[in-house]
Amino acid sequence: QVQLQESGLGLVQPSQTLSLTCRVSGDSVNSADSHWSWIRQQPGKGLEWIGSVYRSGTTDYSPSLKSRVTISMEASQNVFYLKVSSVTAADTAVYRCARAPRYRAQSGFYVDIWGQGKLVTVSS
Amino acid sequence: DIQMTQSPSSLSASVGDRITITCRASQSIANCLNWYQQKPGKAPKVLIYATSSLQSDVPSRFSGSGSGTDFTLSIRSLQPEDFATYYCQESYTSGTFGQGTKLEIK
């Protein structure tokens, strides 16, 4: 079955760059059927869409995070990445990678497979 | 930016009740609206995609409707396992989520 696994440092210093990797098994990040996405959840808060990457390298970011976020992929390793620059305590959250299949025959997508999540704490 | 507003933010109901949660988009999103259920400490689970399509393995007591800017999630005959937090998400532009609706047992 399809599985996603996040990895990266769990503690990042303020003003530094948060970097996470999502390793995909059971599917290909080169699939024409899906976007590959990052979503976060601050402690006790709701879900926040960060952005996604498609096999062509096309990316889409949340307007509120766009200036600080980069999402990319490496098809040969079947992974995709998240970088968030200039982090503050407000970026402390559980970060989840996810598969987002496209709707059939129309634009739009939904998330059907999630990673288990990686807690990243921003603190000195 | 599209804003997604859910109502109510919290809701108390009893097993067997029928409930409805509303999601309103700040501009038209056609039918690009998804619903998720999340339980504490777990990843969300998709229930409904493209407004009204039921994800496989999701019980038929869940249903979705709407178009344009106004959407609803309905759960008929609430079961104990349905008490959770529910989120809507638009996929017309980026992937903005609503703020969530916490469904609690009365």
A100 and B95 within 8 Å at the Cβ level: the answer is yes
- B54 close to A (CB below 8 A): no
Q: Cβ(A4)–Cβ(A21) under 8 Å?
A: no
Q: Among A57-61, A67-71, A76-80, B31-35, where is mean pLDDT lowest?
A: A57-61
Q: Is the pLDDT of residue A105 over 80?
A: no
Task: Label residue A82 by pLDDT band (50, 70, 90).
Answer: very high
- pLDDT score at B55: 97
Helix (H) or strand (E) holding B70: strand B70-75
Q: Tell me the shortest Cα–Cα distance from B99 to chain A, in angstroms.
A: 6
Chain segment B21-75, per-residue pLDDT in tens: 999 999 999 999 999 999 999 999 999 999 999 999 999 999 999 999 999 999 9
- pLDDT score at A73: 96
Question: A39: helix, coil or strand?
Answer: strand
B32 and A108 within 8 Å at the Cβ level: the answer is yes
- pLDDT score at A106: 83
How far is residue A110 CA from its own chain's centroid? 14
Q: C-alpha angle with apex B91: B87 to B95, nearest 5 degrees?
A: 65
Task: Label residue A50 by pLDDT band (50, 70, 90).
Answer: very high
Contacts of B43 in chain A (CB under 8 A): 96, 114-117
Contacts of A46 in chain B (CB under 8 A): 87, 97-100
What percentage of residues in chain A have a pLDDT greater than 70?
Answer: 100
Q: Tell me the shortest Cα–Cα distance from A123 to chain B, in angstroms.
A: 22
The stretch A80-94 carries a mean pLDDT of 98
Q: Tell me the shortest Cα–Cα distance from B76 to chain A, in angstroms.
A: 23
- pLDDT score at A1: 94
- pLDDT score at A26: 97
B34 and A110 within 8 Å at the Cβ level: the answer is yes
Which of A120, A124, A101 has its CA nearest to residue A2?
A101
